[in-house]
């Protein structure tokens, strides 16, 4: 149980284009979803917290107009990297949880911006 699916697993895009990453909880309804970013050999950095039906809460230093988060249902959240640049290249990971349960993570999306 508690499977989180993330798609795509990797994507290459050109600078200036936008990329959408999907995060789905397959066998449970996720009250909250979190989006993380991880650079090589570093730990996960929280970008934003997403609750179904409400606006995401962004961490300090994360541009909300650049990283658009939509949590349209209890099983789906999306992260759109708008006008991507090479410095946005990273490993993006989503996580989801039910009420009073620990987080389960997706397998991440490796974004490369050329």
Partner 1 sequence: QKEVEQDPGPLSVPEGAIVSLNCTYSNSAFQYFMWYRQYSRKGPELLMYTYSSGNKEDGRFTAQVDKSSKYISLFIRDSQPSDSATYLCAPAPGDYKLSFGAGTTVTVRA
Range in contact with partner 1 (rule: CB under 8 A) among 39-47, 62-70, 71-79, 81-89: 39-47
How many chain residues bind partner 1 (CB under 8 A)?
A: 23
Contact predicate 82/18, CB 8 Å: yes
Contact predicate 21/31, CB 8 Å: no
Radius of gyration of the chain (CA): 13
44 is an interface residue for partner 1 by CB under 8 A: yes
Q: Which is nearer to partner 1, 66 or 104 (CB)?
A: 104
DSSP-derived pairing of the beta strands 90-97 and 32-38:
antiparallel
Q: Which is nearer to partner 1, 28 or 91 (CB)?
A: 91
Give the Cβ contact number of residue 97 at 10 Å. 18
- Binding residue for partner 1, selected from 18, 83, 107, 114, defined by CB under 8 A: 107
What is the closest distance, in whole angstroms, from the C-beta atom of residue 16 to partner 1 in the complex?
26
108 is an interface residue for partner 1 by CB under 8 A: yes
Chain residues that interact with partner 1, rule: CB under 8 A: 2, 4, 6, 32, 34, 42-44, 46, 49, 91, 93, 95, 97, 101-108, 110
């Amino acid at each position: 149980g508690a499977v989180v699916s993330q798609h795509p697993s990797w994507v290459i895009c050109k600078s200036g284009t936008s990329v959408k990453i999907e995060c789905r909880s397959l066998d449970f309804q996720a009250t909250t979803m979190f989006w993380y970013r991880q650079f090589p050999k570093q730990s996960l950095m929280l970008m934003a917290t997403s609750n179904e039906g409400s606006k995401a809460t962004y961490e300090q230093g994360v541009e909300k107009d650049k990283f658009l988060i939509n949590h349209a249902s209890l099983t789906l959240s999306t992260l759109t990297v708008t006008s991507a640049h090479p410095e946005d290249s990273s490993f993006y990971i989503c996580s989801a949880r039910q009420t009073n349960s620990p987080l389960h993570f997706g397998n991440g999306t490796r974004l490369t911006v050329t």
